[in-house]
Amino acid sequence: MEEVNTTRSRGFVEELIDQEDDFDRWYVDVVKRAELADDAPVRGCKVVRPYGYALWENFQASLDSRFKATGVQNAYFPMLIPQHMMEREAEHVEGFAPEVAWVTRGGKSDLEEPLAIRPTSEAIICSKLGEWVQSYRDLPIIVNQWCSVLRWENRPRAFLRTSEFLWQEGHTAHATAEEADQRARMMLDIYRDFLENELAIPVIPGVKSETEKFAGAVRTYTVEAMMGGKFWALQSGTSHYLGENFSKAFGIDFLDKDGERKFAHGTSWGLSQRTIGAVVMVHGDDAGLKLPPRVAPIQAVIIPIWRKEAERDGVEEHITRVTNALGDVRTFIDRRDDKTPGWKFNEWELRGVPLRIEVGPRDVQSGNAVVVRRDTREKKVVAIDQLEQVVADLLVEIQASLYTTALERQKAHTVPVTSLGELYDRAASNAGFSVASWCGGEACEATVKDASKATIRCLPFDQPSEHGPCIVCGKPGVTEAIFARAY
Amino acid sequence: MEEVNTTRSRGFVEELIDQEDDFDRWYVDVVKRAELADDAPVRGCKVVRPYGYALWENFQASLDSRFKATGVQNAYFPMLIPQHMMEREAEHVEGFAPEVAWVTRGGKSDLEEPLAIRPTSEAIICSKLGEWVQSYRDLPIIVNQWCSVLRWENRPRAFLRTSEFLWQEGHTAHATAEEADQRARMMLDIYRDFLENELAIPVIPGVKSETEKFAGAVRTYTVEAMMGGKFWALQSGTSHYLGENFSKAFGIDFLDKDGERKFAHGTSWGLSQRTIGAVVMVHGDDAGLKLPPRVAPIQAVIIPIWRKEAERDGVEEHITRVTNALGDVRTFIDRRDDKTPGWKFNEWELRGVPLRIEVGPRDVQSGNAVVVRRDTREKKVVAIDQLEQVVADLLVEIQASLYTTALERQKAHTVPVTSLGELYDRAASNAGFSVASWCGGEACEATVKDASKATIRCLPFDQPSEHGPCIVCGKPGVTEAIFARAY
């Protein structure tokens, strides 16, 4: 067997730049070289390649079952929205107008009215809810769609910021404000649960400031995650309580039990392929991706190793024993004959597969397999009859370890600050999340943003009982806020 | 218990028009009233409602697992295609130009180059395959995407013909013509298998004529199904062997084992939400839909029945026994208290649920449940401990029976014809498929179409050993063709 240096083996594939040298460049390179995404020949867009899409499919399956368990029904609404309909809710259209792509020609003719490609679907969905909802018996309505939306973007970055992106958007209508708000919070909690338990990404749940809330919402809830490298924030999912704003604009009213006509209370909530970017940035290291086992398209890659052709059949037979032992584990056998085992080790590390299983002539003789963790690079020689249990345990352990590592980082780089100077220094030096008291004033929020590019990521649900003076104006604080740079 | 007339119970809900009085109107009404789809406030589009979308999700799951078993990988490519790229394959752009919607404005600015909303994605996908394929080792590439596409449509009909529609489109590149053609046929056979075994729709597989083939293909394979009512054809899935047409236009070439540079051979294949329309039209009757059990969102609807409030708890307890007994069967308990059992019977018949299970006080006492088939309306009193087996058997039986009924109709209305008069009469009287010899000439094909609106649906794979004279010109026939009106 050829000599493979598994402790410093990156030399076999073209090296990535180290994260600390240029985190943004590392991100772009690893996304492309791991074949998650590729450039598209359309401004602002990217292609989601099979490996990236397989990840998204696992996200979808996992979120969708959580949704359905709470009564969500999937549906599909047209992607084109007539201009007059986009304009019905005033704040909404003002917020989205700069980003909308317009269809003005169909076939050979100019259209009488331009059609927007949905940047989000409140307008078209609410126009139908207005027809479907007549009585309290028709409520609640809880629909969701998995689709792509389009928001014009000049400087795309794969998954994080592209003109067209994949997401899910849920839309609901309820008889009361309380029920709607509960639904909005319930969906945020599903996002938290999904991010923490499937993607191993700890998040801080909270409320957006008025400035940062969704265009047309009464209140926006958010889960904010800390990325690796620069410790910036990534808004990872949002859920909006829309009050009666869209109901009034689109006539979603109903005859209530008490015989009165009332407007329904709405919510909407979305989580997008940005979360793929989050997985890359939270868990990745200088060797590439580290995918959480629960969502990894390949949980264990099997690398056959032989020097002489005569060893091949034995190795293949042994691989059959290995895959039989592994049952439901998502495996892939890399049989390419133009790549060395060392090259494959590096490539699958780059692509973030949680476990590598090496099968060589020595393993055939001993009845073992060599199992290597992606996260710690720890190596174990495992007997075939132990393999199922060991692999199952390791996958659980890696999932937990990724989460713990991310949580420790988040805690280590979330720091209370009491002076603007400190806040600005931390923003300038990519030091992480700064926690400060805030008076609730938009002017104070704008001051910080203009000076440091740090924004209020959220007002965490978890608040102290008392607040110090506002970090900007010194007046009494009404809430604690998390300030950070964000993607 | 109130009196319910289950043999002629349609009176409880607003009646559908009978199929034989106006099949097209019946289709439109049943689609809307069963809540499969609804009108959209955008020209040419429809909303796919939760019940219709749940059906589509079952189609997707069932097709997707078949795809993946043959090595298909899902991916996602941008929906916008620059005009110059659409124009690279000459026949392709000519075929689609009249149907394309164009984005000409992004945000507040006019675009330098119009962007097409994909009518299909050969252009953009092939432009990437050109980059990804360098060596024979990169082949085959077998990708698929589940997405919506847009082809401008002025007279929409839900599922069958809408501007935007949901589908899957697969795209592949291969080293040889043989391998590509095999893949195209393999995917057609997956469509046939899916249609016959999941949707209970028999199909006739074959080849399209030159006139009817996909714009840019060398050869188009199709599966054609006969609908109920007017016995028209519905093209239910197509698979194209593209030869080197797109490879040459988009530079998909590779260095082969023999050291020569060659163009890859392509395929593409798609199946759309039209198949939902097919399920409606093949199996439905005057009372509404009949959904095949394997894809029905609800396989058994449970109707609680009581007269006195005191009976309610007992019925509910018995329903728990029923649902426990049914295990994995997809059930729904209709507990609405503002509808009578009779009204519910009719509504769930309209919505095509294969089995209805009635649970009333008498069943509580006897330890039974009443099971009613949607297709035959046959009623069985079943003991709870037999229920699992009886329901499982009935679902299999209904699935088989729907298929057999459809196949018998297809056979009964597929008739060999030897004179043009007979062919035209059959087309004019909606008599079904006419099988005739054809010389292969486009002029003869056009003659029939102009005179009768019947088109060649396919040249079936299953051909007789000898052919009579062409039904139009009388010259020697080279193939048997199926002529029919089509949706």
Q: Any residues with CB less than 8 A from the CB of B448 and at least 6 apart, and which?
A: B420, B423, B424, B454, B455, B456, B471, B472, B483
> CA dihedral in degrees (B28, B30, B35, B40; nearest 10)?
10
Nearest to B243 by CA among B172, B189, B187: B172
> Half-sphere exposure of B305 toward its Cβ, with a 13 Å CA cutoff?
24
How do residues B69-83 score in pLDDT, each as one tens digit? 999 999 999 999 999
Residues from chain A that touch B336, judged by Cβ atoms under 8 A, are: 137
- For every one of its 487 residues, what pLDDT tens digit does chain A have, with 9 covering 90 and above? 333 333 334 445 678 999 999 999 999 999 999 999 999 999 899 999 999 999 999 999 999 999 999 999 999 999 999 999 999 988 888 889 889 999 999 988 999 999 999 999 999 999 999 999 999 999 999 999 999 999 998 889 999 999 999 999 999 999 999 999 999 999 999 999 999 999 999 999 999 999 999 999 999 999 999 999 999 999 999 999 999 999 999 999 999 999 999 999 999 999 999 999 999 999 999 999 999 999 999 999 999 999 899 999 999 999 999 999 999 999 999 999 999 999 999 999 999 999 999 999 999 999 999 999 999 999 999 999 999 999 999 999 999 999 999 999 999 999 999 999 999 999 999 999 999 999 999 999 999 999 999 999 999 999 999 999 999 999 999 999 999 999 9
Q: B50 to chain A: nearest residue by CA?
A: A75
Contact of A269 with A169, CB cutoff 8 Å: yes
A-B contacts (CB, under 8 Å): 158
Q: Any residues with CB less than 8 A from the CB of A366 and at least 6 apart, and which?
A: A381
What are the phi and psi torsion angles at B14 (to 5°)?
A: -55, 130
**End-to-end Cα separation, chain A, in angstroms:** 45
Residue A3 has a pLDDT of 38
Q: Looking at residues B167-189, what average pLDDT do you find?
A: 98
Contact of B300 with B348, CB cutoff 8 Å: no
Strands A265-272 and A164-174, sheet pairing? antiparallel
Strands A433-438 and A414-416, sheet pairing? parallel
CB of A365 within 8 Å of a chain B CB? The answer is no
Interface test with B, best of A48, A77, A122 (most B CBs within 10 A): A77
Residue A191 has a pLDDT of 98
> Half-sphere exposure of B168 toward its Cβ, with a 13 Å CA cutoff?
27
Residues from chain A that touch B54, judged by Cβ atoms under 8 A, are: 73-74
The Cα of B92 is separated from the nearest Cα of chain A by a number of Å equal to 15
Interface test with A, best of B80, B99, B122 (most A CBs within 10 A): B80
CB of B416 within 8 Å of a chain A CB? The answer is no
- At B310, the amino acid letter reads A
Beta-strand (E) ranges in A155-264?
Answer: 164-174, 204-207, 219-226, 233-243, 253-255, 261-263
Rg of chain B, C-alpha, whole Å: 25
The reply to whether residue B75 touches residue A50, judged by beta carbons under 8 angstroms, is yes
Residues 138-197 on A with a CB inside 8 Å of B are 143, 147-148, 150, 152, 163-164, 166
Helix (H, G, I), strand (E, B) or coil at B270: strand
Beta-strand (E) ranges in A198-277?
Answer: 204-207, 219-226, 233-243, 253-255, 261-263, 265-272
How do residues A446-477 score in pLDDT, each as one tens digit? 999 999 999 999 999 999 999 999 999 999 99
**Cα–Cα distance, B431 to B434 (Å, whole number):** 8
**Residue whose tokens read 């009635």:** B358
The Cα of A345 is separated from the nearest Cα of chain B by a number of Å equal to 19
Task: Tell me: pLDDT of B91 over 90.
Answer: no
| Residue A235 region by backbone torsions, left for phi larger than 0, else alpha for psi between -120 and 50, else beta | beta
Contact of B480 with B437, CB cutoff 8 Å: yes
**Cα–Cα distance, B354 to A345 (Å, whole number):** 52
- Residue ranges per structural domain of chain A: 18-283, 300-394, 414-484
CB of A99 within 8 Å of a chain B CB? The answer is yes
Nearest to B329 by CA among B350, B306, B360, B357: B357
Q: Which residues pair with A302 in a beta bridge?
A: A333, A357
**Fold match, A300-394 / A414-484:** no
Residues from chain B that touch A343, judged by Cβ atoms under 8 A, are: none
Cα B156–chain centre separation: 16
How do residues B438-458 score in pLDDT, each as one tens digit? 999 999 999 999 999 999 999
Nearest to A140 by CA among A107, A163, A173: A173
Q: Looking at residues B93-116, what average pLDDT do you find?
A: 93
B421-453 burial: b if 16+ Cβ within 10 Å, else e: ebbbebbeeebbbbbbbbbbbeebbeebbeebe
How do residues A16-67 score in pLDDT, each as one tens digit? 999 999 999 999 999 999 999 999 999 899 999 999 999 999 999 999 999 9
**CATH number, domain B414-484, options 1.10.10.10, 3.30.110.30, 3.30.9.10, 3.40.50.1820:** 3.30.110.30
CA distance to A102, A441, B114, B115, per residue, from B102 (Å): 8, 44, 6, 6
Contact of B256 with B262, CB cutoff 8 Å: yes
Nearest to B90 by CA among B42, B45, B131, B123: B123
Which DSSP string corresponds to B10-33? Answer: GGGSPPPPPTTT-HHHHHHHHHHH
The reply to whether residue B102 touches residue A102, judged by beta carbons under 8 angstroms, is no
Contact of B158 with B164, CB cutoff 8 Å: no
CB of A381 within 8 Å of a chain B CB? The answer is no
Contact of A110 with A104, CB cutoff 8 Å: yes
The Cα of B75 is separated from the nearest Cα of chain A by a number of Å equal to 5
How do residues B318-368 score in pLDDT, each as one tens digit? 999 999 999 999 999 999 999 999 999 999 999 999 999 999 999 999 999
**Residue whose tokens read 């003005």:** A104
**Cα–Cα distance, A111 to B152 (Å, whole number):** 11
**Cα–Cα distance, A6 to A442 (Å, whole number):** 53
Residues from chain A that touch B114, judged by Cβ atoms under 8 A, are: 105
The Cα of B83 is separated from the nearest Cα of chain A by a number of Å equal to 10
**Cα–Cα distance, A351 to A345 (Å, whole number):** 10
The reply to whether residue A148 touches residue B143, judged by beta carbons under 8 angstroms, is no
Q: How many CB atoms lie within 10 A of CB A385?
A: 10
Write the class of the CATH domain B300-394: alpha beta
The reply to whether residue B41 touches residue A82, judged by beta carbons under 8 angstroms, is yes
Structure tokens at B482: 């199926």
Residue A13 has a pLDDT of 61
Burial (CB count within 10 angstroms: exposed 0-12, middle 13-18, buried 19+), residue B457: buried
Interface test with B, best of A32, A80, A87, A118 (most B CBs within 10 A): A80
Residues from chain A that touch B56, judged by Cβ atoms under 8 A, are: 76
Beta-strand (E) ranges in B258-347?
Answer: 261-263, 265-272, 300-304, 331-333
Q: Looking at residues B112-116, what average pLDDT do you find?
A: 96
CA distance to A155, A483, B310, B357, per residue, from B364 (Å): 66, 62, 13, 13
CB of A53 within 8 Å of a chain B CB? The answer is yes
Residues 306-335 on A with a CB inside 8 Å of B are none
Contact of A23 with A230, CB cutoff 8 Å: yes
The reply to whether residue A75 touches residue B82, judged by beta carbons under 8 angstroms, is no
Helix (H, G, I), strand (E, B) or coil at B214: coil
Helix (H, G, I), strand (E, B) or coil at A464: coil
DSSP state of A90: H
The reply to whether residue A97 touches residue B106, judged by beta carbons under 8 angstroms, is no
Q: B124 to chain A: nearest residue by CA?
A: A41
Contact of B29 with B20, CB cutoff 8 Å: no
The Cα of A251 is separated from the nearest Cα of chain B by a number of Å equal to 15
**Cα–Cα distance, B89 to A197 (Å, whole number):** 47
**Cα–Cα distance, A301 to A347 (Å, whole number):** 11
Q: Which residues pair with A82 in a beta bridge?
A: A115
**Cα–Cα distance, A41 to B414 (Å, whole number):** 48
**Cα–Cα distance, B199 to B196 (Å, whole number):** 6
Nearest to B224 by CA among B213, B235, B215, B216: B235
The reply to whether residue A38 touches residue B128, judged by beta carbons under 8 angstroms, is yes
Contact of A80 with A118, CB cutoff 8 Å: yes
DSSP state of B291: -
**Cα–Cα distance, A269 to A197 (Å, whole number):** 19
Task: Tell me: pLDDT of B17 over 50.
Answer: yes
Cα B327–chain centre separation: 29
The reply to whether residue B164 touches residue A80, judged by beta carbons under 8 angstroms, is yes
Confidence at B6, pLDDT banded by 50, 70, 90: very low
What percent of chain B clears pLDDT 90, i.e. is strictly above it? 93
Q: Strand B368-373's sheet: what is its strand order?
A: B331-333, B300-304, B355-359, B368-373, B379-383
The reply to whether residue A104 touches residue B100, judged by beta carbons under 8 angstroms, is no
Q: Any residues with CB less than 8 A from the CB of A386 and at least 6 apart, and which?
A: none
Write the class of the CATH domain A18-283: alpha beta
The reply to whether residue B78 touches residue A152, judged by beta carbons under 8 angstroms, is no
ipTM for the complex shown: 0.95
